Each structure stands twice: as structure tokens, then as C-alpha cells.
Amino acid sequence: MSKGRLLSGMQPTGMLHLGNLEGALANWVKLQDEYEAFFFVANWHALTTMLDRTEEIKRYTRAVATDFLAAGLDPNKCAVFVQSDIKEHAELHLLLSMATPIGWLERVPTFKEKQEQLHLETVSYGLMGYPVLMSSDILIYKANAVPVGQDQLPHLELTREIGRRFNYIFGDIFPECEGLMTEYAAMPGLDGRKMSKSYNNAIYIADTAEETETKVRSMYTDPLKMRKTDPGHPAGCAVYNLLKTYGRADMHEDCEAGRIGCVECKKRLAAFLNDRLAPIRERRMELEQHPEKLDEILAAGAEKARKVARATMVEIRAAMHLD
């Protein structure tokens, strides 16, 4: 029945937006029925870039977990937990680090990108070890499948390399994990660029319906289409492109022929998004009104995760003569 064990996580570096929802979360919700699944908030990973903002990490950790549940992750079907609740990840991280040549880490493309992006004059040991921590997240649950975005593939490759090396030295402990890609096209943001919290062009799951309407009203459309009757060019229009990702771009011809105007079009988009998000936002509000419920769910999720993580650690300690 189950296709095996599946694990994924997200860093609590901000609120989750439509891109996170349609690109990852919605897929996780389907996968929880097919696999023995583990989903967690990677709050230790967030320390690599937000060490001076740990209160924010704490706030986002709860917000992201709330979004997970609101989007439809069901704690009766899968484990939803916070990374730092399972200390075993840190122990395995240390042990894996012994089997990871520094050269492998220097070659990870995300490492160089982050180094440049953040204008860091020095790089922390923790940032360099980011993919080793991610490997421990995956390997400690002996996950077979890891749904991630394209950008995370180098990390999965490294996970396989570390796992293989570990198996070679200490015997068969870890299975080979596989990335699960979604075909979902990148979600365009309010300005037509890829939706991203760093571009300030996102619609957030936690936004209200009114905020969503205001954001959509401010969206960039075809600048040549001043009036409804002007012929428009939907290809370069962010409103059109967002609707297209939902297969709802049936105004293409009406736009070109001047039969629909941008005001009407934006109304349709806002209404569509608010419909899509309404049940999620409702569950979100409910969880926010009962913080103790979230605590309970995360404690139960951690309990489930810890059981598996502990069993793996017993095996690893024995193989390494640390028992």
C-alpha cells in the first residue's frame, strides 16, 4: 500500500505564499496518502541566515507549521514536527560531518550562491554544513522519497554521496533517497517575476481576502491597454500569467479583442484566488485561535518522528562502536 517513506521540510524564513502552496504544499497533501510521510519545519537551517533574528525564526516556525496544517497536512496521516524538537538530527549531523570531505561542500552550488548573495566576508561552519544537516534530516528517517524543488537537487545528490560513503564504512544502514519533482511551473508574482518573499511580490496564504484584492488591483498588466476596448497582449501580463498557472486563462482572446478590461480581469483573479484560499485561511484562523492545538499536534508529530529517529541512531551508534 505505502510506497515507502517520504520526508520534506521548509525553512521558516518567512510566511508561506502561493508559490509555496501550489509548488510544494499541495503536492505534499497528496503524497501523505501514498507514503509514510514526515514533514517538518527546518528551524535549525534558518539559523544559517537569520542568526540575528531568532525571534522571527520562532514566529515563522509556528506560522509555517500552521500553513502546513491549514493546507491539508493531516496529523493522523503523517508526522508534522519541528526540526529542533528531534535532537537526534544534530547527533547524526555531527557523525555524518566526519564522513564529508570539505571539497564536496565547497562544490555545492547553493553554497557559493549564498556566499555571494549575503555578501559574507566570512562563512560560518554552520552554513557550510547546511547540506550535511539536510542529509541527516533525510537519512535519519531512511527516507526513500524527498519532494523538493529543482534548487535542492544538489543537496540530494550530496545526501546520496554521504549515505553511500557511510554505508561503505559502516555497513548498509541508509537506503538511497530519490528526489520527487513536481511539474508545476514557477508561480509568477505580482510583478511578473517568480513569486518570492525577497521580491516583495507575493500573495501570502495568511493574507486576508481584502489584502489579496488590494494586491491584485496593484498588479502589472499590459501598459498599452489603457481602456477595455484597447487590444491587449496577455503574454506579458502578470494577471494573465498567474491565471494561466491555474488553467484559468480563458480571457486570452477577449483581452486581445478588447472585449475585457484589466479591472474586470483582476476582479476575476482576486475572486479565484480568494475562493482557492478561503478554506485554507479558515483552518488557519481556527488554529491561530487555539495555539494549544498546534502545540499538541507538533508534540504528537515529534513523538512519531523521534521514535524512528531514535531507532536509526541506535543502529548507527552500534555500527560505529559508540554504544
Instruction: Name the residues annotated as catalytic.
Output: 114, 194, 197
274 binds ligand TRP (CB under 6 A): no
Q: Which does 41 bind (CB under 5 to 8 A by kind): ligand TRP, ligand SF4, none?
A: none
Report the Cα 87 to chain-centroid distance in Å.
21
The region of 14-22, 111-119, 218-226, 272-280 touching ligand SF4 under the rule CB under 6 A is 218-226
Report the nearest approach of ligand SF4 to the CB of residue 193 (Å).
16
Residue among 5, 6, 8, 100 that touches ligand TRP (CB under 6 A): 8
- Indicate which of ligand TRP, ligand SF4, none lies near residue 297 (CB less than 5 to 8 Å, by partner kind): none
Rounded CA separation 107/101 (Å): 11
Are residues 287 and 280 in contact, defined by beta-carbon separation less than 8 angstroms? no
Partners of 8 in beta bridges = 39
CA–CA distance, 276 with 270 (Å, rounded to integer):
10
> Can you read off the three cell numbers belonging to residue 253?
482572446
In angstroms, what is the minimal distance from the CB of 276 to ligand SF4? Answer: 18
* Contact call for residue 148 and ligand TRP (CB under 6 A): yes
Which 3 state secondary structure label does DSSP give 180?
strand
Question: Under the criterion CB under 6 A, does residue 146 sit at the interface with ligand TRP?
Answer: yes
Residue 242: how many CB atoms within 10 A of its CB? 24
Question: What's the order of all strands across the beta sheet hosting 36-41?
Answer: 79-82, 36-41, 5-10, 145-147, 178-180
Give residues in contact with ligand TRP (CB under 6 A).
7-11, 42, 45, 134, 137-138, 146, 148, 152
Give residues in contact with ligand SF4 (CB under 6 A).
221-222, 225, 232, 234, 237, 239-240, 251, 255, 260-262, 265-266
